[in-house]
Amino acid sequence: MFPPTHLPNRSKTSTRMCMLVLSAACVALGLTACGPKPPIKIGFIGGLSGKFSDLGTANRNGALLAIETANDAGGIGGRKLLLVEQDDQQDSAQALLALNELKKQAVVAIVGPSTSSIAVAIAPMATQYQLPLIAATATTSKLSGKDDYFMRSVGDAAFYGRTTAQFHYSKQGIRSVALILDMANADYTESWGEPYAAEFTRLGGKVVRIERFKSTDNPDHAAIAKKLLDGAPQMVLTVASTSDCALIAQRVKGLSPGVRMAGSAWASTERLIELGGAAVEGMLVEQYFDRFDPATKFQDFVKTYRNRFKTEPGFAAVLAYDATNMLIAGLQKSQQPAELKSAILGLGKFEGVQGPVLLDAMGDASRVVHFGVVKNGAFAKID
């Protein structure tokens, strides 16, 4: 037994230790309470490298701008938003790996992918994970009308194909056309091209040829052009990326200068004129947005985007900006992935940067179609 004189010293030591433990705990609690809240992670999947990287990069930029704008306004409930990027390399297997990686990083939802074929590849897994997937430029009809976790800020490819056929036949007086479809993104090109052909024929026009190629297989564009001109079509319509549309236009015009050229919305990026030069002069293009919109809201977006990325925003940036803002509006209601799908679908009508985007119960959107023409080396509006 210790002498009585030792008891006070032991008591003081124990008291000090308890106070130190409590103090450390309080400091830890204080740091947790007073420090910044963890960010809300939003995933991004798109083709940031490879042949279709112009589309994926513009998607990423539009999404990033929406997130930065939201963060400047205070985030959501005091929490900042963080974009976690994954490059799908326009490869289905890589896209599935990217989706799994984003799930591991606990993102609440994913913006993307940028192409329809990748969307078809990953949508089932996103649904299995109950992870909302909000695409900006994936229009394939294969994912329309499904009660899954795939949503989008753009309409269905079949609608755009039919509407473009009506425009060409009724407004432009086209009576014969040859189509070329890129099978590297077949879930888009066939979803667009086949309804176009059916509607154009129904109206009384003639589809003289439908040619298919795969842009990733280093195709012979000169040989393709010769095939397209068999049957002497009044117009050649390319349903492919900007680069391939420009190359085909150059080859076709070299063989038949008088034939008219047209492209689907996929081709109508800001690089079309740069790559196509004189060969795309007079080309008709379908567009998902009005690049000549004078409204203050759109002009402010253009100015901010231009200052941030040192380039002009095309359709992919506009649609991704809307898609991300749809997601942010849903996050204002719920930040739980299991509830987020219903929160986004519950929006019904969403105000995009150029007016309303209507969202149905299956996550399919509808928005106004625009048409333009390349005139004097620039895009021009068709009234």
Distance, CA of 236 to CA of 255 (rounded, Å): 12
Distance, CA of 319 to CA of 148 (rounded, Å): 21
**Distance linking the first and last C-alpha atoms of the chain:** 103
Distance, CA of 261 to CA of 225 (rounded, Å): 12
Distance, CA of 125 to CA of 131 (rounded, Å): 9
pLDDT tier for residue 383 given thresholds of 50, 70 and 90:
low
What 3-state DSSP class applies to 263?
Answer: strand
Q: What percent of the chain has pLDDT over 70?
A: 91
Give residue-wise pLDDT tens across range 284-340: 999 999 999 999 999 999 999 999 999 999 999 999 999 999 999 999 999 887 799
- What the chain holds in terms of domains, given with CATH numbers, is 40-154+294-368 (3.40.50.2300), 158-287 (3.40.50.2300)
Give residue-wise pLDDT tens across range 133-173: 999 999 999 999 999 999 999 999 999 999 999 999 999 99
Average pLDDT of the chain to the nearest whole number: 91
Cα 158–Cα 164–Cα 169 angle in degrees, nearest 5? 130
Q: Give the model's pLDDT for residue 3.
A: 40
Q: At what angle do helices 315-333 and 337-345 cross, to 10 degrees?
A: 110
